[in-house]
Amino acid sequence: MLKRTKNTGLYILMMLIAVLQLFPLYWLVVSAFKDNSEIIGGVVWALPTKWRFSNFSEAWVSAKVNQYFFNSVSVTLITLFFVLLFASMMAYALTRMRFKYNGVILFILLMGVMVPIHATLIPLFMILKNLGILSSRLSIILPYIAVNLPIGVYMLSAFLRSMPKELEEAAFIDGCGVLKSFFKVVLPLLKPPLASVAIFVFLAVWNELLMAATFIQKEALRTLPLGLMNFSGQYSISWGPLAAAMVISTLPILLAYVLFSDQMEKSFTAGAILK
Amino acid sequence: MERALSNKKLIALFLVPGLTVFLVFYFVPIIMTAYYSLHDWDGINPMTFIGLDNYTKMFTTDKSFWQAVWNSLAFLLVGVLIQLPISFALAMLVSRKMKGRKWFRNIYFFPVVMSTTMVSLLWVKIYDPNIGMLNTLLDAVHLSSWTQAWLGDTKTALLSVLIVTTWHYVGYNMLILFAGMQGISEQYYEAAKLDGAVGWKAVRHITLPLLSDVLRICIVLNVIYALKTFESVYVMTNGGPLNSTTMIALKMFQEAFLKQNFGYGSALAVFMVLECLIIAWVLNKVLTREKIEY
């Protein structure tokens, strides 16, 4: 009996904390359907009297969230593809191939895990300017690939090191070359750690603001975080459409979270241990 | 196979593309930052070498630099002394074998995956004196005297930003600690039970010591995050009012891209890097004790 009451108490405590974590988000979602008079005059936790889907269409079209959304999707996908490809190739070379500078390369990559990206910002700005790609999509894609490579290489190398070589050896005996055995045998086996890296990179790139704010000057190329920030400046008066835009930009993350929450937890813990 | 795997052309094919991008867009810039920091430069006209003058200015005449250092310290202390204990309690809660614990864990963790920009914009609205939910809530519970412009007042701005960071990241620490707790074998607790160590005693004598490695990682992570803080203050206050929420990263950004002081901005960036590396190294040294064996 005593144990039961204790458990109920714990449940109530956990519910309270859950409410504390979720209430701001609940407020965001209901605000996305309200107009200002309802937000200012109404009860904070009340549902909208009338569900204004117009906030969403206003955000999507007039506030150009559709454009920001497309920019974020394309930048994220391109970055993701190259990080996964380059990181798995580098990890393979560093763990399986034989050459002298193995240690040096791993050490240089370690800098990428340790040094904050803020320290690269000013020279990057000059490099991108000199290359003539400032304020193009490439101006953030290339740094995003560079920034996310080290952690990818480390996560994948750790996995490869613990992976037996027998399958690759069998592939060689069957007459596969290195390339063929890499793409046909190794890459499929790398799926679990690749999924972790993919989630890690997806969140990092989808949420990135500092580099986008520094290197993207064209309005048409703004990513979601950058677009939202400017949007909030212009729409400081009407909170409804801004809330709608924020809901839209979080949907892909929410979706990924619902689908892959276990994988996400894994990639976060793995990433944390590495840092 | 051995011969194929030491083929120079193949090795180059696997390494060069990624390594080139990494070197050009990450590694080389770090070195260039150090070089820039020794110059007076507006990014357009030729640089003038001025030795360590930027650093002298930083440490002696620039008052907002010290303000930024103190603010980092506030972030750091809140991260370690407030956020971490809360996270630890949450991790304890969600590692109890009870129904729905996975749900609670997912709910507590969810804010972590949202972007800092999003979270910051949301809280700007929550703190907003007119439409914000915080003041409206305070009015509703008859605490109208507490209402104020949370982010607009030098007295409350930093605290308000710190609350947001805590709300955003408690789930992160919770998750890492939870993962650590899962790794502690049930046997220890059962053995302790026989010796009469339950509840707080079990936490103190089993959970905490066996979790010391994970706790160290959490402390280092929190400290590094605190020192790197940029987005939240950039979006919520832009360092204001009166520099009360300014941070080194934000100052570096403003010096370089608003005031065109590329040299001085680079010196601030170098300071940030050294600060992170030194503190992480010191923490690792201080917090590493001899492994506990049972």
Q: To the nearest whole angstrom, how far is the Cα of B18 from the nearest Cα of chain A? A: 5
* Beta-carbon separation of A257 and B110 below 8 A: yes
Query: Which chain A residues contact residue B131 at CB under 8 A?
Result: 36, 39-40, 239
The answer to whether A175 contacts chain B (CB < 8 Å) is no
* Beta-carbon separation of A122 and B112 below 8 A: no
Residue B4's alpha-carbon distances to A90, B103, B112, B275, in angstroms, are: 16, 50, 45, 45
Query: Nearest Cα to A91, choosing from A155, A157, A162, A145?
Result: A157
The answer to whether A219 contacts chain B (CB < 8 Å) is no
A-B C-beta contacts closer than 8 Å: 265
Q: To the nearest whole angstrom, how far is the Cα of A74 from the nearest Cα of chain B? A: 18
Q: Are B245 and B71 within 8 A, CB to CB?
A: yes
Give CA–CA dist B279/B273, Å, rounded.
10
The ipTM (two decimal places) reads: 0.91
What does the block give as tokens for B243?
């520099």
Who's near A109: CB < 8 A, 6+ residues apart?
A: A149, A150, A153, A154, B22
Assign A254 a pLDDT band (cuts: 50, 70, 90).
very high
* Beta-carbon separation of B26 and A146 below 8 A: yes
Query: Which chain B residues contact residue A92 at CB under 8 A?
Result: 14
Task: State the alpha helices, DSSP H only, in chain A.
Answer: 2-31, 36-41, 54-57, 65-96, 102-114, 121-131, 138-161, 166-173, 178-181, 187-189, 191-206, 210-215, 224-234, 239-274
* Beta-carbon separation of B118 and A122 below 8 A: no
Which of B115, B164, B223 has the highest number of chain A CBs within 10 A, making it the mutation to test binding with A? B115
Give CA–CA dist B98/A10, Å, rounded.
10
Tens-digit pLDDT profile for residues B180-200: 999 888 888 888 888 877 778
Give CA–CA dist A154/B109, Å, rounded.
24
Torsion B163-B164-B167-B172 (CA) sign:
negative
Q: To the nearest whole angstrom, how far is the Cα of A85 from the nearest Cα of chain B? A: 9
Contacts by B148-151, CB closer than 8 A, 24 or more apart: B151/B124, B151/B127, B151/B236, B151/B237
**3-class SS at B210?**
helix
Ramachandran assignment for B229, one of left (phi > 0), alpha (psi -120 to 50 degrees), beta (any other)? beta
Which of A13, A122, A157, A259 has the highest number of chain B CBs within 10 A, making it the mutation to test binding with B? A122
Rounded mean pLDDT of B145-166? 91
Q: Compare A114 and B90 and report the one with higher pLDDT.
A: B90
Q: What are the φ and ψ backbone dihedral angles of A208, each rounded to 5 degrees?
A: -70, 135
Flag whether pLDDT at B255 surpasses 80.
yes
Which of B5, B25, B32 has the highest number of chain A CBs within 10 A, making it the mutation to test binding with A? B25
Q: Measure CB to CB from residue A36 to each of B19, B131, B235 and give the nearest one.
A: B131
DSSP symbol at B155: T
Residue with tokens 């026989």: B194
In 10 A of CB A104, how many CB atoms? 9
Assign B129 a pLDDT band (cuts: 50, 70, 90).
confident
Flag whether pLDDT at B172 surpasses 50.
yes
* Beta-carbon separation of A10 and B93 below 8 A: yes
Query: Which chain A residues contact residue B96 at CB under 8 A?
Result: 10
CA B198 vs. chain centroid, Å, equals 34
Flag whether pLDDT at B292 surpasses 60.
no
Give CA–CA dist A206/A225, Å, rounded.
8
Q: Residues B2, B16, A147, B221: what is their CA dihedral angle, to the nearest 10 degrees?
A: 30
Who's near A221: CB < 8 A, 6+ residues apart?
A: A71, A135, A136, A137
Give CA–CA dist B31/B273, Å, rounded.
11
**Beta bridge pairs of residue B49:** B39
Q: To the nearest whole angstrom, how far is the Cα of B2 from the nearest Cα of chain A? A: 8
Assign B21 a pLDDT band (cuts: 50, 70, 90).
very high
Residue with tokens 């209901």: A30
Tens-digit pLDDT profile for residues A30-56: 999 998 878 777 777 888 888 989 899
Give CA–CA dist A117/A131, Å, rounded.
20
Mean predicted lDDT score pLDDT of chain A: 89
Give CA–CA dist A271/B176, Å, rounded.
10
Which of B8, B21, B83, B167 has the highest number of chain A CBs within 10 A, making it the mutation to test binding with A? B21
Contacts by B28-32, CB closer than 8 A, 24 or more apart: B28/A123, B28/A127, B29/A119, B29/A120, B29/A121, B29/A122, B29/A123, B29/A124, B29/A127, B30/A111, B30/A115, B30/A119, B30/A120, B30/A123, B30/B273, B32/A122, B32/A123, B32/A126, B32/A127
Lowest mean pLDDT among A70-74, A177-181, B218-222, B268-272: A177-181
Query: Which chain B residues contact residue A149 at CB under 8 A?
Result: 18, 21-22, 26
Write down the pLDDT at residue A5: 60
- Closest A-chain CA to B104: A18
Query: Which chain B residues contact residue A11 at CB under 8 A?
Result: 98
Tens-digit pLDDT profile for residues A204-237: 999 999 999 999 989 999 999 999 998 877 766 6
Query: Nearest Cα to A148, choosing from A222, A214, A211, A94?
Result: A211
DSSP symbol at A25: H
Q: Measure CB to CB from residue A268 to each of B172, B235, B262 and give the nearest one.
A: B172
Flag whether pLDDT at B245 surpasses 50.
yes
Name the pTM for this structure: 0.92
